[in-house]
Structure 1
Amino acid sequence: MHHRHFALSTAIATTVVGLSCSAAIVVGRSQPSLAQTPALPADPVIRVTPNSPQLEQAYTLGGGDRIRIEILRVPQYSGEQEVLVDGSLNLPLVGKIPVEGLTLERASQVLVEAYSAYLRQPIVTVSLVEPRPLKIGIAGEVQRPGAYTLTREGAQFPTLTRAIEIAGGITQSADLRNARIRRPQHSGPDLEIQVDLWSLLKTGDLSADLTLRDGDTIAIPTLTEIDLQEASELAAASFAAKEVPPLNIAVVGEVYRPGTHTLNSSGGAEGLPTVTQALQAAGGIKPLANIRRLQIRRPTRNGSQQIIEVDLWQLLQVGDLSQDLRLQNGDTIVVPIAREIEPSESTQLATASFSAENIRVNIVGEVKQPGGIQIPPNTPLNQALLAAGGFTNRADTDSVELIRLNPDGTISQRTIDLDFSQGLNELNNPALRNADAIVISRSTLASISDTMDTAINPLGKLLTILNFPFRFFGLFGQ
């Protein structure tokens, strides 16, 4: 029996020594790569990938772990123990034993050495009953960066994507290809693990969804340039935001109600408000809006500002939904003014979902229903005249005056020669804008008639007065 115990103890010791040697070889191999690094940070790290051999490490003990210690044929010293906050075990007979940072195999060897002073050739087995909660930090492009405590769910240890979900999910500016995990080591420099979470989305590569360790710090960097096609895929990721509070968005430029607007989301990241919804909330675009060069100015977690260009004309022409970018809190949408818009484009813009429903123009003079009228954006002048009931029989049907308030604050007035056979065009049938005024004058014949009435009317009154005495005496003569 003693010989069998000695052989088993020798085998365990040989295995542990072998493991220790392997670990020493891995660290030894990493030193040349460190020396070749051009410039080390102030706090040195070893940069590795998820498939690096340095990550193939067994679980290491720490404060809060619950373990079971089995000493063969010594049940009075066996049982469950919890690793104390200082990383030690307080055991009967041997007292305080440090196990912080040790694997289960190494902890077994340490206990064999400790009990060897009291027991003959002890055989000790250490197993994990309940792992401690993990304390991790997460920073960068997540909704709620900070410190978190993660627990095991069944047999599954917390992973990278699980930590991101608990932190509220990624933002729309997250650079998933360059996520980093900084992992402290019990001895030697920290490990910095470079993770490509984009490969998880595209190929289902589970090696990117690393199992976390206590003390890990996760950093999700900011994209330097946003790809509109990829942005929609980010919103559909399992670790995108699940619940998004109302967003405060600013819209400036060629819209009818510029300023800040609060937009509600419907669900998670896939339900985030989009650019066109924000334009609708801002009253719609004006007729001279340059929808090919919209800009979204987005603040990031690192204090910088991203400039994202959106071409809504592509959305109208080919249905490119990637142009209708999902927004996030703090975005500013800038709608520039176009130098010139083709009449055919004006018609399409007027029917776009993000155009204003109506504009108001004033029509005064010789129409049947003068005053302010509501018409769709980019309505041609001819249609506006018909909406006002058409001309009276006194109207000059050859031309009208168009008075317009320009974007720079000036007022322009020009004469439009009417031609009802023309379609929309700037010369004879221009598209109207909000606050335009149209003046319809009297025809030449009506003007002459009114002038003659003005001249004859006083003479008629004088004749009436001179004729009054004769009419008076004629009354009594009867």
Structure 2
Amino acid sequence: MVQVTVFDTPELSAKLRVNADRTVELPVAGSTVVSGMTPQEAADAIAKHLKDAQIMIDPRVTVTIADYATQQISVLGEVKNPGNYLLLGPHSLYNALSAAGGTTEKAGSDIVIAHLVDPQQPETIHMDSPNYSQLQRLTNVTAGDVIYVSRAGSVYVLGDVGRPGEFSMAAGRRLTVLEAIVLAQGTNSDAALSRAAIIRKTDDGTRIIPVDLKRMAEKAEGDQVLTAEDIVVVPRSRGRAFIDATLPALTASAAGSAIAAMILLVNR
């Protein structure tokens, strides 16, 4: 809602609502576009419209904002306070994330923005981009947009290691096999380093990728980058003990066909 005042001409002055087509309907003078302008730019546009319509020779116009329309933006996913937020005036992705308390430690590498004007063409911002801070401030969001912060993928290290479990790949962080082993507090003394493996779920089923941790550590074999939901299995020299220690540590996210694959692995 804007207050349009034409100096010394009350019949052309009024409080007007900005329509969905970005215009205001002026008394007598018809409609003119003002959406997206500053108050001064809108005043200049209205003055020009009055002159072009030959209603006034030298109109002096002022425009002030009487009221803002509700601008609700949804911020969902891995933010501290997901929900709907009212942001007045122009705002950026940075403003929207700040309103939601920022991202959580489990945030993934992608922020997807579904714009109200074109929801079928979502915009993706990569948090691992070198210029991510700048991107946050340059990316505009408007009323009706939905912002979704993805959850980071995880990898699992199971078997004869110090602390088997799940390890997050937060903010697009890449983990290699040796880095994952370090996060799991290293291997134990009786680990069968040459019989380790990566268990990976693919569209064609479960793959078992043999890994020689000893050769990796000695740099005789290249370290491998893990993908989300990979399971690094470090068997013990005694197969049965490995199964008893590992299966209870397997989380629901890594269950299913991976269990059968691990049993095959340690008994080969």
Task: Please say if 1:248 is aligned against 2:248.
Answer: no
Aligned residues: percent identity?
15
Determine the C-alpha separation between the residues in 1 that align with 2:226 and 2:99.
23
What are structure 2's unaligned runs of at least 5 residues? Answer: 1-5, 51-63, 240-268
- 1:285 and 1:209, CA in 2 relative to 1: closer, same or farther beyond 3 A? farther
Task: Please say if 1:59 is aligned against 2:9.
Answer: yes
Q: Which residue of 2 aligns with 1:181?
A: 24
1:361 CA drift (Å): 4.2
User: What is the SS of the residue equivalent to 2:178?
Assistant: helix
Task: Please say if 1:262 is aligned against 2:83.
Answer: yes
Of 103, 106, 113 in structure 2, the residue corresponding to residue 280 of structure 1 is 103
- 1:355 and 1:206, CA in 2 relative to 1: closer, same or farther beyond 3 A? same
User: What is the SS of the residue equivalent to 2:182?
Assistant: helix
What are structure 1's unaligned runs of at least 5 residues? Answer: 1-55, 62-100, 102-132, 142-178, 214-237, 252-256, 336-353, 448-478
8 Å Cα contact 1:312/1:324 also seen in 2 = no
Of 204, 207, 211 in structure 1, the residue corresponding to residue 44 of structure 2 is 207
Larger radius of gyration: 1
1:312 CA drift (Å): 3.5
- 1:243 and 1:383, CA in 2 relative to 1: closer, same or farther beyond 3 A? farther
RMSD (CA atoms): 5.3
8 Å Cα contact 2:155/2:169 also seen in 1 = no
Greater strand fraction, Structure 1 or Structure 2: 2
Task: Please say if 1:429 is aligned against 2:224.
Answer: yes
Determine the C-alpha separation between the residues in 2 that align with 1:204 and 1:412.
63
8 Å Cα contact 1:401/1:415 also seen in 2 = yes
Q: How does 1:19-418 map to 2 (within 5 A)?
A: 59=9, 134=14, 136-140=16-20, 179-185=22-28, 191-195=30-34, 198=37, 200=38, 206-208=43-45, 247-249=73-75, 261-264=82-85, 269-270=90-91, 272-274=95-97, 280=103, 283-285=106-108, 291=110, 296-300=113-117, 305=119, 307=121, 309-312=123-126, 316-317=130-131, 319-321=133-135, 325-333=139-147, 356=152, 361-369=155-163, 371-377=164-170, 378-406=174-202, 410-418=205-213
User: What is the SS of the residue equivalent to 1:439?
Assistant: strand
1:382 CA drift (Å): 1.0
User: What is the SS of the residue equivalent to 2:44?
Assistant: helix
User: What is the SS of the residue equivalent to 2:141?
Assistant: coil
8 Å Cα contact 1:363/1:388 also seen in 2 = yes
Q: Deviations over 1:408-431 (max 9, x none)?
A: 595332212331255xx9x63323
8 Å Cα contact 2:71/2:86 also seen in 1 = yes
Q: Which residue of 1 aligns with 2:56?
A: none
Determine the C-alpha separation between the residues in 1 that align with 2:68 and 2:24.
23
Determine the C-alpha separation between the residues in 2 that align with 1:391 and 1:246.
51
- 1:405 and 1:267, CA in 2 relative to 1: closer, same or farther beyond 3 A? farther
Larger relative contact order (C-alpha < 8 A, sep ≥ 6)? Answer: 2
1:399 CA drift (Å): 4.3
8 Å Cα contact 2:113/2:148 also seen in 1 = yes
Greater helix fraction, Structure 1 or Structure 2: 1
- 1:244 and 1:183, CA in 2 relative to 1: closer, same or farther beyond 3 A? closer
Q: Deviations over 1:22-65 (max 9, x none)?
A: xxxxxxxxxxxxxxxxxxxxxxxxxxxxxxxxxx997366xxxx
- 1:192 and 1:268, CA in 2 relative to 1: closer, same or farther beyond 3 A? closer
TM-score (norm 1): 0.33
Letter in structure 2 aligned against 1:412: R
1:135 CA drift (Å): 5.6
TM-score (norm 2): 0.52
Q: Which residue of 2 aligns with 1:163?
A: none
8 Å Cα contact 1:297/1:305 also seen in 2 = yes
- 1:180 and 1:376, CA in 2 relative to 1: closer, same or farther beyond 3 A? closer
Determine the C-alpha separation between the residues in 1 that align with 2:113 and 2:66.
20
